[in-house]
């Protein structure tokens, strides 16, 4: 089992937060350009889904060591906050 380092965990969280920011911006642009009216409230506890977390870990490990793990399994979603932890295997 390959264990991501603290640096890689931080990279994964930053990458996923950046993706969330881009997607939120794109959604706002679509709403603005279509002339729709919508009210958006920030989520109290934004999370990174289990699937996105597993994919992000696989991507980061491939980038760091040049090889994708055979599998990555996380117990569930994790709060999208720097320093959040999850025990993936």
Question: What string of DSSP letters covers the chain?
Answer: -PPPPHHHHHHHHHHHHHHHHHHHHHHHHHHHHHT--------SS-EE-HHHHHHHHHHHHHHHHSS--S----SS-EESSTT------
**Residue written as tokens 């931080």?**
10
DSSP bridge pairs for 47: 79
**What's the mean per-residue pLDDT of the chain?**
75
Q: What is the mean pLDDT of residues 63-84?
A: 84
Residue 81 — pLDDT band, cuts 50, 70, 90? confident
pLDDT of residue 41: 63
Residue 5 — pLDDT band, cuts 50, 70, 90? low
pTM (two decimals): 0.48
Q: What percent of the chain has a predicted confidence (pLDDT) above 90? A: 0
Res. 72: pLDDT tops 80: yes
């Amino acid at each position: 089992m390959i264990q991501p380092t603290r640096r890689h965990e931080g990279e994964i969280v930053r990458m996923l937060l950046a993706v969330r920011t881009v997607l939120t911006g794109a959604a706002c642009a679509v709403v603005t350009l279509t002339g729709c009216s919508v009210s958006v409230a920030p989520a109290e506890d934004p999370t990174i889904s289990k699937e996105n977390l597993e994919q992000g870990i696989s991507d980061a490990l491939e980038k760091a060591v040049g090889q994708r793990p055979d599998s990555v399994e996380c117990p569930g979603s994790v709060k999208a906050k720097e320093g959040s932890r999850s025990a993936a295997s």
